[in-house]
Amino acid sequence: MTYPPRGRYEFTLKRGATPVAGFVVRIEPETKTVSVDWHLTGKKRDGTGPKSLGSEVPLGADVAVGPGFVLRIDANGVWLQSNNAGAPFAMTKLTHTSRNFRNMILEVDFENDPSVKRAFNWGSFFGIVKRAYEGAGIDVEFTSKNKRPLVPGPGTAGWTEKQLNATMKKYFDSRPDGDVTDLATALHFYFLVGRNGNAMVPRGYTLFGIMFDTDSKPREGAAIFTDSMQQQIMPPWLGKEMALAMTAIHEIGHALNLEHPFQRNVRPLPVDSLTVMTYWRKLPTEAAQYQWWQAIMARMDGPGVFLPDELTHLHHANPLALFPRGQAFGAAGFELGDDDRDGNASPTKRHRTEKKKK
């Protein structure tokens, strides 16, 4: 017996037109890994599921998931049955919604400055970000349908930590926290495109991008800063648009709880690791940097721009390790050392920054 096709399978249990529970099953036949999330209507994410079935899940066998629910996987698909007294139903086939494992929605805001939108080809930029994450098994959607007004443009001094926190608060105050038809299946992050982020860093540095992260509100979103990238001198073989897109992919990776490979407390990896989560500019020579970029671009559409253990995390981790305001940054098994805490950040508001010397 073989596994059904790879990807994401979903089912929403309803009483009449009202959702009662949501189930998401992710199957990766190549590694024989299955993970299951289930969420109950009206419950916050930390009060429900998920259940990871790990590797080598027996095909054709009934496996208990959730309160009275039974999952079965066979060559014909994924099936769910409820023995729950409150909502019994016979074995029902789940819908195969995508060959990718997760769905991520990035709600994009641009700073209110015309120079920001003129700075780059944003259609190409977002295409690169989408391509990289879909190559890593994550469907990506960009939207601004719930767009909130930004704080006033910060001017030449750059964005301050206070202004960024105010922008984050406006976004998350507008978001639901327990909608099973929404948060059970999609990762919503806020993504800011700003003009100048240098007010947060010491003189002599340029801030390319950040992941929004505080002790009480981990991993809320990410931002990139166009002025910083325009001021940099890039190698002739690397356009600033590609460099900015890779910065965005890197910062969104932090929001998804991925760390720098060379700063892991557990099994740190070399700086030339083939993942967008490293610092390519730390490589010692331009020839080494060029070789790294060529290898990364060759992986863009598969096996992707992330390492195998990073992919496992993205595909099958507990949603609390991925959802904004879930588990703390570094709590997902990719532990960080203290040297990754930026010296300019306050102890209670640790914006993760990517700093490059001018």
Q: Are residues 136 and 232 in the same domain?
A: yes
Q: Are residues 28 and 124 in the same domain?
A: no
Q: Are 240 and 232 in contact (CB under 8 A)?
A: yes
Q: Are residues 75 and 109 in the same domain?
A: no
Per-residue model confidence as pLDDT tens digits over 35-47:
888 776 655 544 3
Residue type present at position 179: D
Tell me the pLDDT band of 179, cut-offs 50, 70 and 90.
Answer: very low
Q: Are residues 229 and 295 in the same domain?
A: yes
Q: Are residues 57 and 94 in the same domain?
A: yes
Cα-based angle 63, 26, 136 (whole degrees, multiple of 5): 155
Classified as helix, coil or strand, 106 is: strand
Q: Are residues 110 and 240 in the same domain?
A: yes
* Structure-token pair, residue 347: 């102890």
Q: Is 84 among the domain residues? A: yes
Q: Is 35 among the domain residues? A: yes
Cβ count near 110 (within 10 Å): 18
Q: How far apart are CA 295 and CA 299, in angstroms?
A: 7
Q: Is 171 among the domain residues? A: yes
Q: Domain residues for 12?
A: 7-98
Q: Are residues 108 and 87 in the same domain?
A: no
State the total domains in the chain: 2
Q: Are residues 224 and 188 in the same domain?
A: yes
Domain finish residue from 37, 65, 98? 98
Phi, psi of 293 (to 5 degrees): -65, -40
Tell me the pLDDT band of 293, cut-offs 50, 70 and 90.
Answer: very high
Per-residue model confidence as pLDDT tens digits over 156-172:
677 877 888 888 877 77
Per-residue model confidence as pLDDT tens digits over 183-242:
445 788 889 898 887 777 766 667 888 888 877 778 888 999 888 888 877 888 888 889
Classified as helix, coil or strand, 128 is: helix
Q: Are 36 and 71 in contact (CB under 8 A)?
A: yes
Q: How far apart are CA 184 and CA 109, in angstroms?
A: 24
Q: Are residues 282 and 152 in the same domain?
A: yes
Domain finish residue from 38, 64, 98? 98
Q: Write down the pLDDT at residue 181.
A: 37
Q: Is 1 among the domain residues? A: no
**Which helix (H) or strand (E) covers residue 82, if one does?**
strand 77-82
Q: What is the pTM of this model?
A: 0.86
